[in-house]
A and B are shown apart, each in its own frame.
Chain A
Amino acid sequence: MLSDGHEVSVVDETPEAIALLERGQDRSWEELGGSFTVGTALEIDALLEAGIERADAFVASTDGDNTNLIIAQVAQRRFHVPKVVVRVLDPARASWYREQGLSTICPTQTAIELLTDAVREAARQHERVG
Chain B
Amino acid sequence: MLIVGAGKVGWNLARELDDRGHELLVVESSQGRYATVEEELQHAVQYGDGSELWVLERAGIQRADMVIAVTGDDEDNILISQVAREKYGVERVIARCNNPRNLQHFDLLGIKPVVSATDLILRLIEHEVPKYGPLHLLDLPQESLEIIELDVADDSVAAGSQVQELGLPDGSLVISILRDGSGFVPTGDSVIEAGDEVLLVLDPGLEPRVTPCFTSPAERAA
B86 in contact (CB, < 8 A):
yes
A44 in contact (CB, < 8 A):
yes
Q: Take A66-B79, A92-B54, A96-B53 as given contacts and tell me if A77 and B108 are in contact as well, using a CB distance cutoff of 8 Å.
A: yes
Q: What residues on B are CB-neighbors of A93 within 8 Å? A: 51-53, 79
Beta-carbon contact of B75 and A73 below 8 Å: no
Number of A-B contacts (CB under 8 A): 44
Q: What is the size category of the interface that chain B forms with chain A?
A: 10 to 19
Pick from A43, A64, A70 the residue with the most CB of B within 10 Å.
A70
A90 in contact (CB, < 8 A):
yes
Q: What residues on A are CB-neighbors of B83 within 8 Å? A: 96
Q: How far is the CA of A70 from the CA of B82 in the complex (A)?
A: 10
Q: How far is the CA of A92 from the CA of B53 in the complex (A)?
A: 7
Chain A nearest Cβ from B116, distance in angstroms = 14
Beta-carbon contact of B76 and A66 below 8 Å: yes
Q: What is the size category of the interface that chain A forms with chain B?
A: 10 to 19
Q: Name the interface residues of A84-99: CB closer than 8 Å to any CB of B.
A: 90, 92-93, 96
The 8 Å CB contact of A66, one of B51, B104, B108, is B51
Beta-carbon contact of B75 and A66 below 8 Å: yes
Q: Take A93-B53, A100-B86 as given contacts and tell me if A69 and B79 are in contact as well, using a CB distance cutoff of 8 Å.
A: yes
Q: What residues on A are CB-neighbors of B75 within 8 Å? A: 42, 64, 66-67, 69-70
B43 in contact (CB, < 8 A):
no
Q: What residues on A are CB-neighbors of B68 within 8 Å? A: none
Given contacts A70-B78, A70-B79, could you give 5 more A-B pairs where the C-beta distance is less than 8 Å? Answer: A42-B105, A65-B51, A66-B79, A92-B54, A96-B83
Interface residues, chain A, CB within 8 Å of chain B?
42-44, 64-67, 69-70, 73-74, 77-78, 90, 92-93, 96, 100
